[in-house]
Amino acid sequence: MITRGVGLFPTADVPTMRQLAKQAEDLGYANVWFGDSPNIWREGYVTMAACAVDTERIIIGTGVTNPVTRHPSVMASTWATLAEWLPGRVALGIGVGDSALETMGRKPATLATLERWVANWRKLQAGEEALEEHSGKPFHLAYPVPGKVPVYIGASAPKILKLAGRIADGVIMLVGTDPIFIEAGLRTIEEGAKEAGRSPADIDVVLWTPTSILDDRSAARDVVRAHVARIVIRPLPADLPPDEMDQVRRIRESYDYYQHMVNVADHGSQVPDSLVDHFALAGTPDECAAQLRRISETGVNQVAIVPFVTPGDSRARVIEAFAQLPL
């Protein structure tokens, strides 16, 4: 059965974030995923731990962290501590890095770096030694570790989707809401899984989607345009028509990472309705319900919304509205 998740970027103070996480649990959401981009948001791990205090069931994780600003020794200790405190309720989401790096003029990690990071992190989580990348010295956690924490790789481009299929427990897939793109992403994950002798059924696939649910369809689309721009700056798992690809190229040239996930970002004005239809869950409740039905037929395990609102509105309203849509 498909479940609901919510991605919460720490754009608000900790008390507000705690309320949103508690609301998601009360409404039956399975996961709450916290963004990690310290130059533009509050600190993700502090926020995540604070939200854990108020919840009893919901799985808490990162959506997503990266292997450059977060050394595996720090992350091994962080997640071992969280897993000890919240057994069965934590999940590491990691990608190559995005706004956390771009805002400092650094580039995302290579896929090889990400793969090595995950391998070392898993060794540390298992109580084994890992080799420090720069010194070559072996190191380990000097206290008992509580057991496995699942690794979800945040992925949109074909190469990282295939890597996720090879090594990850789950995938946070950012490819849009059009079944054409979802199914292309799932096929790529399956290719990676088969290369590693794994069953695709063992990989938990979370579809990550910008979401705006309003009675005014046009207003709902406007709210998510900037996040659609964020999706299309990376390679896509399927082709778009030539006129839409021309628009995508213009978006890639104008994207501003300091306005990452800001719904009034200048690059949002470059996004036409056709791209919104491909890459977001945005519209009236009935329209979103119909789109959600199409998504549920693709085989993803979870739809994780990123609720977007205009100033003066609250993400709590979108979290409530999505919970009312039938799965």
58-67 pLDDT, tens digit per residue, is 999 999 999 9
Q: In this predicted structure, what is the pLDDT of residue 295?
A: 97
What pLDDT is stored for residue 272 in this prediction?
84
Say if residues 110 and 118 touch (Cβ distance below 8 Å). Answer: no
Tokens matching residue 137: 């010295």
Give the amino acid at 159: K
Those residues whose C-beta lies under 8 Å from the C-beta of residue 313, and which sit 6 or more positions away, are none
Scored b (16 or more CB within 10 A) or e, 179-216 reads: eebbbbbbbbbbebbeeeebebeebbbbbbbbbbbbee
> How many secondary structure helices (H) and strands (E) does the chain include?
12, 11
Of 322, 313, 307, which Cα lies nearest the Cα of 33?
A: 307
Q: How many CB atoms lie within 10 A of CB 221?
A: 21
CA distance linking residue 154 with residue 170, whole number of Å: 9
Helix (H) or strand (E) holding 80: helix 72-85
The predicted-structure confidence for 223-263, as pLDDT tens digits, reads as follows 998 888 878 887 888 888 888 888 888 887 777 655 545 55
pLDDT in tens, 152-173: 999 999 999 999 999 999 999 9
Q: Which residues contact 191 (CB under 8 A, 6 or more apart)?
A: 162, 165
The fold of the 3-324 domain, in CATH, is TIM Barrel (3.20.20)
> What backbone phi and psi angles, to 5 degrees, belong to 19?
-65, -40
pLDDT of residue 242: 84
Position 142 confidence tier, pLDDT thresholds 50, 70, 90: very high
